[in-house]
Amino acid sequence: MRLLVTGGAGFIGSAFVRLAYQKGIQLTVVDKLTYAGDLKRIQEAKSTEFYPIDISDRPSLESAFINGRFDTIVHFAAETHVDRSILNPDIFTLSNVIGTTNLLELSLKYGIERFIHISTDEVYGELTSGKSVKFKETDSLLPNSPYSASKASADMFARAFNRTYGLPVMIVRPSNNYGQWQYPEKLIPLFIAKLLLGEKLPVYGKGENIRTWLFVEDCVEAVFKVMEKGVAGEIYNIGSDEERRNIDVVRGLLMIMGKGDDMIDFVADRPGHDFRYAVDTTKTQSDIGWSPSVTFEKGLEKTVKWYIENKEWLLNKKREADEFVGLIKERYQKT
Ligand code: TYD
């Protein structure tokens, strides 16, 4: 197997690249290296062929298909931050929708044998109660943010390319990931960085929204198994039973980092803020034989430790992210 990983310098994509490299797989990476991409994440994957390409730029993307040698694509490349999508929806259409259709078309043209499209649980929309109901792969898509709408649209194209042209596409829908190398605009690394700097933690609304947390290394193991054992045309949810209210995640961080509740700052809520995400993973567990191995408490401790050990990287990225975080604050206060 020869692999092309799009978004391979991103948070989840790079964890997948490191895993595939450890397994001795020949790799090509395409990444636009936006603010969220960083080649440091994959410096240990030494023989990787790298193309600094924007997937929404069709001619450049085709050059990777002409020059690269791969038969399988794992497509992580995407704009992923909901808050950014609220400020700038257009770049989400460009990268996530046009970028994905470019890849699908070129995959047909160049005879790609397996295409794993990385989606998100956010395409299902929100669950409105904290009860045991969870999203199944057969549920309809009801995205609420520009981000999730762009991902749902990409999923629809991926499905259509399988149904119409027989492209062997599998769709994977993971829940919220956390772990090392995540860009500090997302909840967990942002709040670790803020606590290291003695800054207060801006919790949206009352902190009651619920997310299901999946350790990034568990996530990429699942993607790897889908790549090996998944069936073309199928969708696979990836998640854990680790559902937490945001306020409980924040309290967990405060406890690990030895800080108190006085660091919490309840701020204006995100517009359209989805209440709860949770996915039913029965199908994935039985069809591909995967289940998560890291509990949230263990994973969170490991994550905090890694960011403390890599404080310089974290705080440099945090400085870059600050301007954007400030814009978000202004915007939400007005709505
Ligand atoms: P995030 O990491 O942005 O992921 P997603 O929106 O894709 O789930 O946010 C996780 C949760 O944390 C979400 O409910 C929004 C909330 N949140 C805050 O309360 N404050 C923040 O500063 C951020 C970034 C997120």
Specify the pLDDT at position 276: 98
Specify the pLDDT at position 262: 98
Q: For residue 93, give the H/E element and its range.
A: none
DSSP3 helix / strand / coil % (the chain, rounded to 5): 50, 15, 35
Query: Where do runs of H (alpha helix) occur along the chain?
Result: 11-22, 58-67, 82-87, 89-92, 99-109, 146-165, 187-197, 216-229, 246-256, 282-288, 296-309, 311-334
Specify the pLDDT at position 33: 97
Cβ of 186 closer than 6 Å to ligand 1, yes or no, is yes
Specify the pLDDT at position 268: 95
- Reduced to 3 states (helix: H, G, I; strand: E, B; else coil), residue 146 is helix
Specify the pLDDT at position 329: 83
Specify the pLDDT at position 325: 83
Specify the pLDDT at position 104: 98
Specify the pLDDT at position 68: 86
Return the structure tokens found at 55.
Answer: 């997937």
Q: Does the predicted model carry a pTM greater than 0.75?
A: yes
Specify the pLDDT at position 131: 84
Lookup result for tokens 């023989």: 47
Tell me if 97 sits within 8 A of 163, measured CB to CB. Answer: no
122 is catalytic: yes
Specify the pLDDT at position 76: 98
Residue minimizing CA distance to atom 3 of ligand 1: 186
Residue minimizing CA distance to atom 12 of ligand 1: 187
Residues 6+ apart with CB under 8 A from 303: 178, 179, 180, 188, 192
Specify the pLDDT at position 334: 82
For residues 219 and 56, what is the distance between their CA atoms, to the nearest angstrom? 26
The dihedral built from the CA positions of residue 313, 178, 299 and 174, taken in this order, carries a sign that is: negative
Specify the pLDDT at position 25: 96
Cβ of 190 closer than 6 Å to ligand 1, yes or no, is yes
- Reduced to 3 states (helix: H, G, I; strand: E, B; else coil), residue 335 is coil
Residue minimizing CA distance to atom 9 of ligand 1: 187
Cβ of 238 closer than 6 Å to ligand 1, yes or no, is no
Instruction: Point out which residues pair with 267 in neighbouring strands.
Output: 204
Mean pLDDT by 10 residues, the chain (335 residues): 97 98 96 96 94 97 94 98 96 98 98 98 95 95 98 98 98 98 98 98 98 98 98 98 97 98 97 98 97 98 98 97 88 84
Cβ of 209 closer than 6 Å to ligand 1, yes or no, is yes
83 is catalytic: no
Q: Which residue among the candidates 38, 54, 83, 121 is catalytic per the annotation?
A: 121
Lookup result for tokens 């290394």: 217
